Amino acid sequence: MMEETPTQNIDKRIQMAVEAFQFLKNTTINERAEFMNAVADQIEVLGVELLEVTHAETSLPLARLIGEKARTTGQWRSYAKAVAAGIYTEARLDLAQPEKQKGDLRKYNVGIGPVVIFGASNFPFAFSTAGGDTASAIGAGCPVIIKAHPAHPKTSQIMADAITTVVKAFGWPEGVFSHITGTSYEIGAYLTQHKDIRAVAFTGSFHGGKALFDIANSRENPIPVFAEMGSINPVFAFQNLLETKAETLAKEYIASLTLGVGQFCTNPGVFISLKGKPLDRFITVLKEETQYVTPVNMLHKGILESFEKNRSSAIEQPDVEIIMSANTATEDSKVSASIIKTNAQTFLNNPVLSEEVFGPFGVVVACETKEELVKIAQELKGQLTITVAATHEDVRNNDTLINILKDKCGRLLFNGMPTGVEVVYAMQHGGPFPATTDSRFTSVGPDAVKRFVRPISFQNWPDEFLPEELKNDNPLQISRMVDGVMNSESLKLQTI
Amino acid sequence: MMEETPTQNIDKRIQMAVEAFQFLKNTTINERAEFMNAVADQIEVLGVELLEVTHAETSLPLARLIGEKARTTGQWRSYAKAVAAGIYTEARLDLAQPEKQKGDLRKYNVGIGPVVIFGASNFPFAFSTAGGDTASAIGAGCPVIIKAHPAHPKTSQIMADAITTVVKAFGWPEGVFSHITGTSYEIGAYLTQHKDIRAVAFTGSFHGGKALFDIANSRENPIPVFAEMGSINPVFAFQNLLETKAETLAKEYIASLTLGVGQFCTNPGVFISLKGKPLDRFITVLKEETQYVTPVNMLHKGILESFEKNRSSAIEQPDVEIIMSANTATEDSKVSASIIKTNAQTFLNNPVLSEEVFGPFGVVVACETKEELVKIAQELKGQLTITVAATHEDVRNNDTLINILKDKCGRLLFNGMPTGVEVVYAMQHGGPFPATTDSRFTSVGPDAVKRFVRPISFQNWPDEFLPEELKNDNPLQISRMVDGVMNSESLKLQTI
């Protein structure tokens, strides 16, 4: 069981974060990048002991955990590199023009203030205590208060200790990083309501994310909440492609649907196509392939129970045909894949069928007409990803539909499956509501840092008091926009 | 009187905006920049007739209106230049690495969708129908629905006609720009609630901005509201500066406080300093200078009434000393300046005194100790601007306080006064709540475009279907980040 951090300790930690923010504001991007690389080093030396603890807490296979650990240190390092390059500093200098009576104006991004981060259960390393949210907040110059996920408390503590070790080694104020534990709803609400918190990041259910969003917006001083709340990640499969590649597509789809027991927010939960022989062939292969899926334990009992409940609810809807219904093996809570089939009208009229079932569960929607495909696209809520399974010819034949799909997601795939979220600059992991609360930001890739900064302009300040990022001689040698032109030069100005 | 656009017409215009968005999404940044320059041309040819209409509607002097008109066309042109340069496109390409099984991922910013903009009364050109919000939304690729400000309906109509003329000349869909009129609260709420609206921009009162913010967040699909809700823009004056420059500072302060009859959101409504002889001298000069202020008409009757009400309320507070109380000349509603003085304890304990009085009204706060200055800084709500009136020595002596001030504003001035908001990249016109609803964005300067975009990633798309901004050969010759490195090169890749 997880001990709950008492409220007075939380208050104390937030006060420490407020003080640490004054310190962090005056660190340079290079200093923060060094810190972030040191955290990566520290996580890297955590050996098999960490993996075993996490495996015991999450049931995730060791191979996956090894991969996720590498991904996690990769996040710290790549975000550090981007921070040090000054990409999120966005320095802009408009120099004085005394002849036009224009003053000197210089703007850059600073951290927004103390950030509360809610760890996710499905990525105990990469989206949890030492995950991408923590790395991006610290990169931005914000102290972090982690609300540990109760499904892997020991893992969370090991990661928190790793970060704390680095805080101490750097001689930074303890308040740069705080680890809060507890299972109650109230503790999350308390953190989100606290007047000194300036932003919240969350990965989890719609219910949880939306509750935090509402709390944050009803504060006396509202704050941004970046909640990634899942998605059904539809796959739209078109005729030419399906005619030639039904088998391959079925194998790719089932592999993606069952990867990690379907416990990914980019799990392709819905497959939409015109009815007909190609789709029948797709379904036949799907049925065969599903039989070979090895049942695996889900992350924790709560997720398993939700999966069973939501899966049953979907399967029991009228006008739904079961393609494959794999019951949970009762003795050890292992699950494999379940897939149902329905028609467009049923799908459109029954909202239960377009709700996310977190786990290995798919809905195949067989449309009568192209118009039904368009209608489904129009009615879709916001998604993290949408996949267009198509030939070039299919794309040309369906431009209206594809244009609509662009408004409905953060990432649009041409073939391939959406699971596997690369940690690169071009990644957009965030889509229109309700996929996330703010489609303008990503929670994966170095651009995740953007969530936690805000600009401040300095007007007519003497060079000696400006932050390093804005000084005339550009000591950090970052790329800056000077009078509208990007360069990394030193300015030869008379010091005022 | 202004006619109210009927609800069914609003629905029709929003539907047209939805369709126009599909068109705008496929325009290039160059096409949008051409459109924006054409709007500037069209506004430029509006001659003395416009100025006379606006002068009659707003009481603003012709010289000011000529300046504001130039500022307005300057906004369209400078935002167009920034849009064409691809600054807000933020193209990021991470090319495929087949040996690592990594796909091709390309991200850029698209318009967020139809935007509702509420015109402001105090800038009939620059922050109204054809103002910076409209320019930045169209630059982002978003159709605009203007809710005209009822204080200058004829001006609004002339500006709307100018934009519509350009829409027609370009053969763009009519729904790119819509002009909605009406005075009721319900019409604003109706627009903000409409399911197809994707963002709202507003400049005006806290009451109005916060109401829209709350409506937008309680929608089924919440949307961002960029409300700029005013500010008291404190001036912190320090000892060394005040000892040597009390007279100059008093003249600068009164000039800024009464500029445009104090009807600027950056009006420096509060002046904070240690008590003593230098402050007494400052006040003496202030008193003299205030006498020379010519009474001028305010923008409209509503603003005048609010000013009188809020001014009286502040003056009537206990422990407040009147430095200068200029009553309104009843025959013609002209106002000059009013200034009161109080001590730090009264200012801290009486929230009425730190509320914005929109108009030429100032509060001088005389502190007993430096600790009181710090306390006031700590208790300050978010501000658009804060001015530090100081010598270099003063800055060195007050670094804790100045560090706090950085958290409380969007723009920090070293001497000089905050009125006069330059339209440049380095401008930040937006501060922590309640100055604005979102401190991460500016509503002045080309960066205002950022408010209305969101990123979308394309994974493994064939070159022919990618937007121009992301195609291999970089036909728009914009600067893009390719595998983490900025360049404007064409990529020599085998087309997939």
Q: Residue B330 — very low, low, confident or very high, per pLDDT cuts 50/70/90?
A: low
For residue A23, what is the nearest residue in chain B, using CA coordinates?
B403
B195 vs A: CB within 8 A:
no
Phi, psi values for residue B332, rounded to 5°? -135, 15
For residue A450, what is the nearest residue in chain B, using CA coordinates?
B440
Q: Residue A327 — very low, low, confident or very high, per pLDDT cuts 50/70/90?
A: low
Q: What tens digit of pLDDT does each residue of B281-318 get?
A: 999 999 999 888 888 899 988 899 999 999 999 999 99
CB B414 to CB A464 under 8 A?
A: no
What's the CA dihedral at B154, B158, B161, B165 to 10 degrees? 170
A422 vs B: CB within 8 A:
yes
CB B413 to CB A459 under 8 A?
A: yes
Percent of chain B's residues with pLDDT above 90: 90
CB A428 to CB B93 under 8 A?
A: no
From chain A, pick out residues whose CB is under 8 angstroms from the CB of B92.
425-426, 447
pLDDT (average), residues B182-203: 95
Q: What tens digit of pLDDT does each residue of A150-187 get?
A: 999 999 999 999 999 999 999 999 999 999 998 888 99
Beta-carbon count within 10 A of A44 CB: 15
CB A456 to CB B112 under 8 A?
A: no
What are the catalytic residues of B?
228, 265
- Say which of B102, B395, B442 has its CB closest to residue A455: B442
Tell me if A83 sits within 8 A of A33, measured CB to CB. Answer: yes
Q: Residue B185 — very low, low, confident or very high, per pLDDT cuts 50/70/90?
A: confident
CB A221 to CB B433 under 8 A?
A: yes
CB B412 to CB A486 under 8 A?
A: no
Interface probe for A, chosen from B107, B212, B402, B423 (most Cβ of A below 10 Å), is B107
Q: For chain B, state the CA radius of gyration.
A: 25
pLDDT at B38 over 90: yes
Interface probe for A, chosen from B414, B464, B485 (most Cβ of A below 10 Å), is B414
Q: What tens digit of pLDDT does each residue of B212-269 get?
A: 999 999 999 999 999 999 899 999 999 999 999 999 999 999 999 999 999 999 999 9
DSSP letters, B428-484, are: ----TTTTBS-TT--SSSGGGGGGGEEEEEEES--GGGS-GGGSTT-TT---EEETT
Q: Residue B145 — very low, low, confident or very high, per pLDDT cuts 50/70/90?
A: very high
pLDDT at B495: 55
B113 vs A: CB within 8 A:
yes
CB A453 to CB B440 under 8 A?
A: yes
Q: What tens digit of pLDDT does each residue of B134-143 get?
A: 999 999 999 9
pLDDT at B2: 64
Q: What tens digit of pLDDT does each residue of A410-466 get?
A: 999 999 999 999 999 999 999 999 999 999 999 999 999 999 999 999 999 999 999
Give B 238-257 residues with CB within 8 A of chain A.
none
Q: What average pLDDT is seen over chain A? A: 95
pLDDT at A428: 98
A484 vs B: CB within 8 A:
yes
From chain A, pick out residues whose CB is under 8 angstroms from the CB of B433.
221-222
pLDDT at B326: 73
Q: Residue B331 — very low, low, confident or very high, per pLDDT cuts 50/70/90?
A: low
Q: Residue A492 — very low, low, confident or very high, per pLDDT cuts 50/70/90?
A: confident
The one catalytic residue in A228, A252, A356, A469 is: A228
Tell me if A306 sits within 8 A of A204, measured CB to CB. Answer: no
From chain A, pick out residues whose CB is under 8 angstroms from the CB of B93.
426
pLDDT at B494: 66
CB A412 to CB B25 under 8 A?
A: no
Kindly report the nearest CA distance between residue B141 and chain A, in angstroms.
13
Give B 291-350 residues with CB within 8 A of chain A.
none
B112 vs A: CB within 8 A:
yes
pLDDT at A277 over 70: yes
Residues 6+ apart with CB under 8 A from B192: B116, B200, B212, B215, B216, B225
Separation CA B238–CA B249 (nearest Å): 11
pLDDT at A496 over 60: no
User: How many contacts, defined by CB atoms under 8 Å, are there between A and B?
Assistant: 189
Tell me if A400 sits within 8 A of A408, measured CB to CB. Answer: no
Separation CA B433–CA A224 (nearest Å): 11
Q: What tens digit of pLDDT does each residue of A183-199 get?
A: 888 999 999 999 999 99
For residue A479, what is the nearest residue in chain B, using CA coordinates?
B486
pLDDT at A3: 78
pLDDT at A278: 97
Separation CA A139–CA A26 (nearest Å): 13
Separation CA A84–CA B295 (nearest Å): 54
Q: What tens digit of pLDDT does each residue of B417-434 get?
A: 999 999 999 999 999 999
Q: Residue B107: which H helix or E strand, with range?
A: strand B105-111
From chain B, pick out residues whose CB is under 8 angstroms from the CB of A454.
410, 432, 439-440
A411 vs B: CB within 8 A:
yes
Kindly report the nearest CA distance between residue B371 and chain A, in angstroms.
17
pLDDT at A329 over 80: no
Half-sphere exposure in the Cβ direction for B30 (13 Å, CA)? 7
A438-A444-A446 Cα angle (round to 5): 105
Give the distance from CA A22 to its chain's centroid: 28
Q: Residue A359 — very low, low, confident or very high, per pLDDT cuts 50/70/90?
A: very high
Separation CA A485–CA A492 (nearest Å): 16
Interface probe for B, chosen from A19, A24, A107 (most Cβ of B below 10 Å), is A107
Q: How far lies A17's CA from each of A24, A115, A147, B365, B400, in Å?
A: 10, 9, 14, 31, 16
Q: Is the ipTM of this complex over 0.90?
A: yes
From chain A, pick out residues whose CB is under 8 angstroms from the CB of B434.
221
pLDDT (average), residues A476-485: 97
Separation CA B171–CA B153 (nearest Å): 27
Separation CA B264–CA B258 (nearest Å): 9
CB B224 to CB A440 under 8 A?
A: yes
Q: What tens digit of pLDDT does each residue of A207-236 get?
A: 999 999 999 999 999 999 999 998 999 999
Q: Closest by alpha carbon to A134, among A111, A118, A150, A110?
A: A118
pLDDT at A2: 64
- Higher pLDDT residue, B336 or A322? A322
From chain A, pick out residues whose CB is under 8 angstroms from the CB of B488.
none
